[in-house]
């Protein structure tokens, strides 16, 4: 089954839709969103990472969040060419992205429309030696506004998690 699924993942709720499918057709992909606060604790003399549901703890400036989307192919066949998008909330600063599915390609955006592999480049206008010139510069990850994971193939019953880490401003 060759299917293109485009979803926008926004940390609190997500819907999977088949491109061109009728509204009554159930999605072959289930998505579950979770926002977790990341903290460090010392246990048995070792630092460990602790994830706490953001609804059950205080989130303040400087808090590190893990915005996660867990997905599962609930169809009887493989799904191909899945693109999962997640916006970076403007109240946060992007840190990193990850995905547990093998063969995923991760792309980033600074405008929420165009995506490319890191490092992203942008053109800036600067003054050098009294002259205005345009230069290509590398975009800092903190400027990313969205992430896209391109998953080539998801077999029947296969699941995975894609996530971003972001710091609350």
Predicted pLDDT of residue 23:
56
Given a cut of 50, whether residue 18 has pLDDT beyond it is: no
Report the C-alpha gap between 64 and 163 in whole angstroms: 13
Q: Which top CATH class is 5-168?
A: mainly beta
**Paired strand residues for 3:** none
Which are the contacts of 2, defined by CB distance < 8 A and separation ≥ 6? Answer: 80, 81
Report the C-alpha gap between 147 and 156 in whole angstroms: 25
Output the CA torsion 99→100→101→107 (10° steps).
10
CA angle 114, 34, 97 (to 5 degrees): 40
Candidates 72, 70, 69, 68; CA nearest to 28 is 72
Chain segment 53-112, per-residue pLDDT in tens: 999 999 999 999 999 999 999 999 999 999 999 999 999 999 999 999 998 999 999 999
What are the domain boundaries of the chain? Answer: 5-168
Given a cut of 50, whether residue 116 has pLDDT beyond it is: yes
CA angle 25, 77, 147 (to 5 degrees): 75
Give this prediction's pTM: 0.79
Given a cut of 60, whether residue 125 has pLDDT beyond it is: yes
- Is 154:82 a contact under the CB 8 Å cutoff? yes
Report the C-alpha gap between 79 and 87 in whole angstroms: 23
């Amino acid at each position: 089954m060759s299917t293109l699924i485009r979803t926008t993942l926004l940390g609190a709720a997500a819907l999977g839709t088949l491109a061109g499918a009728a509204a009554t057709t159930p999605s072959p992909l289930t998505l579950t969103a979770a926002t977790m606060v990341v903290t460090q604790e010392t246990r048995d003399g070792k630092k460990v990472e602790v994830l706490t549901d953001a609804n059950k703890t205080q989130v303040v400036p400087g808090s590190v969040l893990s915005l996660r989307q867990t997905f599962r192919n609930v169809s009887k066949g493989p799904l191909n060419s899945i693109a999962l998008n997640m916006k970076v909330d403007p109240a946060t600063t992007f840190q990193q992205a990850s995905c547990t599915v093998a063969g995923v390609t991760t792309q980033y955006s600074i405008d929420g429309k165009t995506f490319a592999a890191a490092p992203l480049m942008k053109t800036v206008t600067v003054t050098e030696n009294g002259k205005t010139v345009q230069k290509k510069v590398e975009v800092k990850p903190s400027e990313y506004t969205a992430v896209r994971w391109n998953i080539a193939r998801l077999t029947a019953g296969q699941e995975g998690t894609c996530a971003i880490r972001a710091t609350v401003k």
